Amino acid sequence: MAETSQQDSELRLRKVLTLWDLIFYGMVLIQPVAGIPLFGVAQKLSNGHTVTTILVAMLAMVITAVSYGRMAAVYPAAGSAYTYVGRTINPHLGFLIGWAMLLDYILQPLINVVWISVALNSRYIAEIPFAITALGVAGFVTALNLIGIRSSARANKVLLAAMCVVIAVFLVLGVHYLFHREGWPGLFSITPFYDPKTFDMRRIWGATSFAALTYIGFDGITTLSEDVENPRRNVLLATVLVCVFTGILGGAEIYLGQRIWPNWHTFPNLETAFMDVCRRVGGPVLFEAMGVVLILAALGSALTGGLGAARLLFGMGRDGVLPRRIFAHLHPKTNTPTWNILLIGAVAWAGAVALNYTHNAYEHAGELLNFGAFLAFMGVNLATFWHFSLLRRSGERKILKDLILPLIGFVFCAAIWWNLNVLAKIVGGFWFLIGAVYLAATTKFFRQAPKMIDFSES
């Protein structure tokens, strides 16, 4: 018996994650190229001030990361916004936050299908209709998930290394290009941050709601809280450091992109504008390398996002939150949630096609994803304030840490959420209304506690 206990202890020790393990995991989730696909659209939305929007969003994300880290220490087994809100403030409000998060899970593969399809159509296969390209991409992702293919840790490391190499080459060539053409004034300029001729604070806020996509996924670090060495310190530190590193690296990439190609009106295609910047400094080789890296990164995100959404729906079906017969079905051979994967694939294709007919498909999909994400961020900041300021029964309250900081994070995220475009608010609001009606119907008009969704398994 003692020998078995010792073996279990040794096995657990081998599974302990360090701070650097968490940071690596967070960078795999967000990806160091996260801000690059946003570049052209964000330049249009901010009227040439994308780097400013990324830094503004970073401030909101860092504060929210602190809140996530603190709440993960309180609820180390859950690691999701709906749990923090549901257990701290109100279970019905927590369910609605979880419902908003479900929209994010569904939209993640959709937004990647949109970007890959736009990139392929605009750069490689322009003669094929968008709907056919999107069907091919969504079908390919769905087929891989149906046969149970998973992205291994080694594949993630190789892809991350390839991204870093291509980014490093771009940074070196970008600096060389600017210095060779304009000298030191070309490298150092405040114009990307503030151009008095085009600066508009209202547009900055609107663009920030889109640029915040750069950071989406950092909260996934909190799902590893049970396996982390010193989680009270390391989870918080890792979430903050990942946000800061992402903001600085993304800001440097975008800063150079703005300096190399300052007039966004002349981009051949806004969705793939950064590839043209790469061609300008590195010729066709860097253009193709960046294109391949971005498509592979988006494909990886679509695969993991689609599988995560399918697993989430399976968990909801198994727990009775959704109809069990459909959503809890597993294929007897592959042990995959077949109907859920097919549903997510169909939604990704249909959503991509529908958004494409509205024009600016990638922009609309991104802002709709942020509808749910920022509701969750607002909820986490509010739950942090609620737990440490209102519910704390022992220990000294720290005004800045427990009260002011989470409220600033809440207001900051609320301001970004409020500046989402009208379409995102309408569609997201309709989704939220469906969740509220469903919640009312299953809890006898909020008189019973709702069934909770275990996002930590997704």
CA 206 to centroid of chain Cα atoms: 18
17 DSSP β-pair partners: 228
List of domains in the chain: 15-457 (1.20.1740.10)
Element (H, E) at 47: none
User: Model's pTM, two decimal places?
Assistant: 0.80
CA distances from 317 to 96, 329, 435, 454 (A): 17, 8, 15, 11
Q: Average pLDDT for residues 124-153, to the nearest whole number? A: 80
Secondary structure letter of residue 228 according to DSSP: B
CA distances from 251 to 67, 255, 274, 342 (A): 23, 6, 13, 37
The pLDDT value recorded for residue 149 is 55
Most confident of 109-123, 345-359, 368-382: 368-382
Where residue 438 falls among pLDDT bands split at 50, 70, 90? confident
202-253 pLDDT, tens per residue?
889 888 888 888 888 777 777 666 666 777 788 888 889 989 999 999 899 9
DSSP string, 364-395: HHHHHHHHHHHHHHHHHHHHHHIIIIIS--SS
**Contact of 143 with 344, CB cutoff 8 Å:** no
Six-digit token pair at 260?
């190399």
The pLDDT value recorded for residue 227 is 66
> How far apart (Å, rounded) are the C-alpha atoms in residues 405 and 71?
14
